[in-house]
Structure 1
């Protein structure tokens, strides 16, 4: 009975604990508690193709902190932009200790997103921000419920309405209200996709049960699908410099509890009409330091290796956590079996 009650509670939490619609915003002091072990009580650092480098559990007296849906780092690999599914921007910079591990967040600001009509606090249904990408002089944001991809000027996105929108190509009638445009990524300019924006739906499926997806622009513009299995749903993704896509997926059910995994999808497979799949290079369950993992970004560190940073959506619940976890991509050909 206790197990069933706890599982039922988690289902309710992951479904969301209600919207937090407010137009207030400004500086936010964020406290980061260090996470030194990904597996509590263990010195293990390798998990599939990833090496755990450290993490933070984030908290703040500012009630707006939480509900992190996506994160993207600036070229300096320190400053970042994030979106909250309550319709807010979170910007800041990560700080590191003398060993290079995540230590905290500084210069944080939480600001309300402005819609195309110049309004804020339009309600979660209109401003349910889920995906985020940086391209040129724009910040692109994908939204659920009112399905769209809006383009905000960069710099100036925090105080401006979008100055454009990119057609999503997927018929809106095929998109589920709260399971749609979750992942938004930009392919490398040097890849066959030539810098195109790519979207993958969370759990809006075609007749074969695959996740709907699209290449929104560029020479290969068109729709494709992503194989959906093991009850994992897309939550974010990032392209590697070689053009491969790392797709972050999460799962929650009564049999398995909370889970997260990353699939590596060959960039050359992504084209109109394709059904793409990839090897699972990382998978973690509730026995490890995870929560409702929703955001993923990657950058090449000073030592030449690829670092990944994941963030979680706490649904503004006291029973969930806002996490920032950092990993190094190791043995790129290593496959973690499903």
Structure 2
């Protein structure tokens, strides 16, 4: 969460009605242009393909922190920072553009005792990853990475936890374990889980991060600059990491960018950085962008899906945006 943004918007919305858990009818308004007053499609390395503004009569919808797609590239799993799962499927029109969300369901995330009322301080879900027969979730405030059985995560307490390696005293309460992703098995990280904090820094001002398991297990850091905090990330098939970052302030306004970090640079003790391949601001159809995922489309190109956290505020929106990643080197990767 961005502290300034949270402070400005606190109390604007609510999502505490447990009776709303279950199926959720989601309405979607199509977004056909990304930049206001312009038909421009290319933004850095990304080509805008379309988007949706989501709403629902179900008060639990909102606060989307992360999204991961299943192998069919249609069904997805999301977490809400209110301590809920959101599952569903994207629908497309005849031209292949995003059209809506179907089969949506919202359910509370169970805590370690099998309860569902531990409160946001313990269930502030921010990061999400799918690996084998488990769903991994990272949490702020009560810093941890828990594992849930898959299938069955929606009705099960966690069946394990993964040591986060980063000293908890170095993690800021509401700006900690924001991004959680799984490296390709074919990469040097060999399918390891990776976490990156939002805005918890070391003594040199770099963002704390760690490879949680695998052959390169250990801590590393990410260079921090420009007032951006990390909100999510995803590995590309070639092993490079895309980091989604956002900022909000009176000087710069709302902003989002994506940095591409070479996968080979991620190793214990490293300070990593990468090229900014995409950046957007107040002229563009963005909000508090919190989640990113990637999948390969039928034509072989890589598509990115970005989602936003509306903080359950009437001043913000729940967005789902789709882009094509332009990179000739990636098209040859399996």
What's 1:253 paired with? Answer: 249
Shift of 1:12: 2.8
State the SS of the aligned residue for 1:126. helix
Alpha carbons 1:13, 1:317 under 8 Å: kept: no
What's 2:271 paired with? Answer: 275
Task: Work out whether 1:286 is the aligned partner of 2:282.
Answer: yes
Structure 2 CA distance, aligned partners of 1:21 and 1:95?
Answer: 28
Shift of 1:122: 1.0
Q: Which digits, 9 at most, give the CA deviation of each residue in 1:173-224, with x for residues without a partner?
A: 0000000000000000000000000000000000000000000000000000
Q: Which runs of 4+ in 1 moved over 6 A?
A: none
Among candidates 58, 64, 76, match of residue 62 of structure 1: 58
Among candidates 83, 90, 94, match of residue 86 of structure 2: 90
Structure 2 CA distance, aligned partners of 1:238 and 1:27?
Answer: 28
Among candidates 209, 214, 217, match of residue 218 of structure 1: 214
State the SS of the aligned residue for 1:170. coil
Q: For the structure 1 residues 206 and 242, does the alpha-carbon distance in structure 2 shift closer, same or farther, using more than 3 Å as the test?
A: same
Among candidates 114, 124, 128, match of residue 124 of structure 2: 128
Structure 2 CA distance, aligned partners of 1:240 and 1:332?
Answer: 13
Q: Which digits, 9 at most, give the CA deviation of each residue in 1:283-329, with x for residues without a partner?
A: 00011000000000000111000000000000000010000000000
Among candidates 311, 314, 332, match of residue 315 of structure 1: 311
Describe how 1:31-180 pairs up with structure 2 within 5 A: 31-180=27-176
Alpha carbons 1:23, 1:120 under 8 Å: kept: no
Shift of 1:20: 3.3
State the SS of the aligned residue for 2:179. strand
What's 1:336 paired with? Answer: none
Q: For the structure 1 residues 202 and 133, does the alpha-carbon distance in structure 2 shift closer, same or farther, using more than 3 Å as the test?
A: same
For normalisation by structure 2, the TM-score amounts to 0.95
Alpha carbons 1:95, 1:102 under 8 Å: kept: yes
What's 2:24 paired with? Answer: 28
Q: Which digits, 9 at most, give the CA deviation of each residue in 1:157-181, with x for residues without a partner?
A: 0000000000000010000000000
Task: Work out whether 1:329 is the aligned partner of 2:330.
Answer: no
Alpha carbons 1:310, 1:325 under 8 Å: kept: yes
State the SS of the aligned residue for 1:125. helix
Q: Which digits, 9 at most, give the CA deviation of each residue in 1:80-131, with x for residues without a partner?
A: 0000000000000000000000000000000001000110021100000000
Alpha carbons 1:22, 1:121 under 8 Å: kept: no
Contiguous gaps of at least 5 residues in structure 1: 1-7, 334-338
Structure 2 CA distance, aligned partners of 1:158 and 1:296?
Answer: 21
Q: For the structure 1 residues 34 and 123, does the alpha-carbon distance in structure 2 shift closer, same or farther, using more than 3 Å as the test?
A: same
Structure 1 CA distance, aligned partners of 2:308 and 2:31?
Answer: 14
Q: For the structure 1 residues 17 and 332, does the alpha-carbon distance in structure 2 shift closer, same or farther, using more than 3 Å as the test?
A: farther
Deviates more, 1:21-30 or 1:39-48: 21-30
Contiguous gaps of at least 5 residues in structure 2: 330-334
Shift of 1:40: 2.1
Structure 2 CA distance, aligned partners of 1:15 and 1:51?
Answer: 34
For normalisation by structure 1, the TM-score amounts to 0.94
Describe how 1:181-192 pairs up with structure 2 within 5 A: 181-192=177-188
